[in-house]
Amino acid sequence: MAVESTHAAVEHPAIDTEGRELLVELVSIPSVSGEETEAAEALAAFFEAHDREVWIDDIGNVRAPGDDTVLLTSHIDTVPGEIPVEIKDGDDGPELWGRGSVDATGSLASMAIAAVETGASFVGVVGEESTSRGAWYLTDHHEAPDLIINGEPSGWDGITLGYRGLVEGTYVAASESGHHSRPDLNAIQQGMSWWDRVEAIFEPDEWVPVFEQVTTKPVDIEGGVSVDGLSMEATMEFQLRVPPERTPDEVRELSDAELEIGTVNWTESIPPVMTNPRTELARVFRAAIRAGGGDPRLLRKTGTSDMNVFATEWNCEMVSYGPGDSSLDHTPNEHLPLDAFDNAIDVLIDVCERCGVDDDVASDGAASGDSEAATNAEAAK
């Protein structure tokens, strides 16, 4: 599965390890959600070069089965935004700039290296930045592993234990057209009024951590006179983030109760997740980070990730981990210190070894819990 990239290679003396080469290669390939194929092929070629069984499944995930004591998984896709891929000198040494360097190609590449070094199972999933379609597909076609390490930026010395959930919806309203001087509310005003009431229900409390609150965010609004000129129309897409203390159903019901005019089509619902810091996996991570010279940090994220999906479908220990400062996610200043990337690889290898991952298992992909492994192995003959 040799893949020849059409993107110019970045050359710099700091790109001096196989891990850094893979990182730069993947960041150099645009992989916005829905357009992950070239990056997936490059990632699969890396595993093939290391004599690992690998294939790209029907949804686009890169699957490299191994020892399912630990499943290493991160997402291939990024959000849109072109950032020139280059190495710059930073306060902590050379840094790789480029879209996805932090969220989450740094995690993806570090996990790929750790997987070939230890024999752990690996999946690079698609669509995390949109609908998590890759993660949902994986849970339908793979038995639960013993442990999951989900790749997202936490800093090489941090582990993420929790994420808020998400509900998404689209508000739609229409009103009879009329002169703008009329006092009655039109569809646009009705939508604004409903949203004001929703925000009032979940009014921010400065004394409560954001992670423990519902936050509201409109993400797209359209409105105006209809094409036939007979009505005024309004459409608003929005997101509500759900803390572990609430459920998506509760948040939907409270929002629906404020409707007077219009309807809401609820399009996405992902429950929150909060794992126990005293699990064996969390303990092993703390030990590995200390062994690498770090002071372990336990994090809760206000966003949502594929870990929410895995926690919903699989009953096993899990954390999220990866190099990079998550405050740079989706920003025009996204960059990753290369030393932090190296440290994350060392921690991941240490964790896998402490958890008892067996490199010999990786030589027999059909021995994994993968329902597609035998079929794909046969097709490759």
pLDDT, position 364 = 60
The answer on pLDDT for 358 being more than 90 is no
Same domain, 59 and 136: yes
Same domain, 174 and 158: no
Confidence of residue 179 (pLDDT cuts 50, 70, 90): low
The Cα 194–Cα 177 span in angstroms is: 20
pLDDT, position 90 = 92
| Tokens standing for residue 235 | 């459409």
Same domain, 68 and 130: yes
The Cα 145–Cα 143 span in angstroms is: 6
Residues whose CB falls within 8 Å of the CB of residue 222, separated by 6 or more in sequence, listed in order:
233, 234, 235, 236
The Cα 329–Cα 78 span in angstroms is: 10
pLDDT, position 368 = 44
Same domain, 157 and 174: no
In a domain, 257, yes or no: yes
Same domain, 140 and 279: yes
Mark the binding-site residues, compressed into ranges. 75, 103, 129, 152, 330
Q: Catalytic: 128?
A: yes
In a domain, 5, yes or no: no
CA angle (239, 243, 245) in 5-degree steps: 140
The dihedral region occupied by 67, where left means phi > 0, alpha psi between -120 and 50, and beta the remainder, is beta
What's the CATH number where 349 sits? 3.40.630.10
| pLDDT, average across residues 18-38 | 97
Task: Give the up-direction half-sphere exposure of residue 35: CA atoms within 13 A in the CB hemisphere.
Answer: 7
Residues whose CB falls within 8 Å of the CB of residue 179, separated by 6 or more in sequence, listed in order:
none
The Cα 121–Cα 61 span in angstroms is: 13
Q: What is the dihedral of CA 218, 301, 79, 195, to 10 degrees?
A: 0
In a domain, 345, yes or no: yes
Mark the binding-site residues for Zn(2+), compressed into ranges. 75, 103, 129, 152, 330
In a domain, 97, yes or no: yes
Same domain, 144 and 233: no
Q: Where are the alpha helices (DSSP H) in 292-358?
A: 306-313, 338-354
The Cα 293–Cα 313 span in angstroms is: 35
The answer on pLDDT for 344 being more than 70 is yes
Same domain, 288 and 148: yes
- Among residues 235, 252, 269, the one where a domain terminates is 269
Confidence of residue 150 (pLDDT cuts 50, 70, 90): very high
| Tokens standing for residue 144 | 């639960």
| pLDDT, average across residues 243-251 | 96
Closest CA to 308 of 136, 100, 66, 92: 136
In a domain, 2, yes or no: no
What's the CATH number where 244 sits? 3.30.70.360
Pick 187 or 347 by higher pLDDT.
Answer: 347
CA angle (187, 192, 195) in 5-degree steps: 125
In a domain, 298, yes or no: yes
Q: What is the mean pLDDT of the chain?
A: 91
Confidence of residue 185 (pLDDT cuts 50, 70, 90): confident
Pick 100 or 228 by higher pLDDT.
Answer: 100
Q: Which helix (H) or strand (E) holds 237?
A: strand 231-242
Angle between helices 248-256 and 187-201 (to 10 degrees): 130
Confidence of residue 377 (pLDDT cuts 50, 70, 90): very low
Same domain, 154 and 171: no
- CA 312, 314, 316, 321 dihedral sign is negative
Q: How far is CA 12 from CA 41, 94, 324, 344, 378, in A?
A: 24, 10, 20, 21, 41
Same domain, 94 and 144: yes
Pick 328 or 175 by higher pLDDT.
Answer: 328
In a domain, 179, yes or no: yes
pLDDT digits (tens, 9 = 90+) for 206-236: 999 999 999 999 999 998 887 777 678 999 9
Q: Which of 77, 95, 317, 329 is catalytic?
A: 77
| pLDDT, average across residues 170-196 | 82
Same domain, 27 and 152: yes
In a domain, 13, yes or no: no
Query: Measured between alpha carbons, how far apart are the two ends of the chain, in Å?
Result: 14
- Report the residue count for the chain: 381
| pLDDT, average across residues 53-71 | 97
Confidence of residue 2 (pLDDT cuts 50, 70, 90): very low
Q: Catalytic: 168?
A: no
- Among residues 244, 269, 294, the one where a domain terminates is 269
Pick 379 or 11 by higher pLDDT.
Answer: 11
Question: Residue 99 sits in which domain range?
Answer: 18-163+273-379
pLDDT, position 180 = 61
The Cα 334–Cα 126 span in angstroms is: 20
Same domain, 298 and 151: yes
| Lowest mean pLDDT across 49-53, 177-181, 328-332 | 177-181
- β-partners of residue 222 are 235
The Cα 329–Cα 333 span in angstroms is: 9
pLDDT digits (tens, 9 = 90+) for 362-376: 766 544 445 455 445
Q: How many domains does the chain have?
A: 2
- Among residues 206, 239, 269, the one where a domain terminates is 269
pLDDT, position 288 = 98
Pick 10 or 297 by higher pLDDT.
Answer: 297
Same domain, 130 and 261: no
Quick check: 106 and 68 in contact, CB under 8 A? no
The answer on pLDDT for 7 being more than 90 is no
Confidence of residue 153 (pLDDT cuts 50, 70, 90): very high
**What pTM did the predictor assign?**
0.89
Q: Which of 128, 157, 306, 342 is catalytic?
A: 128
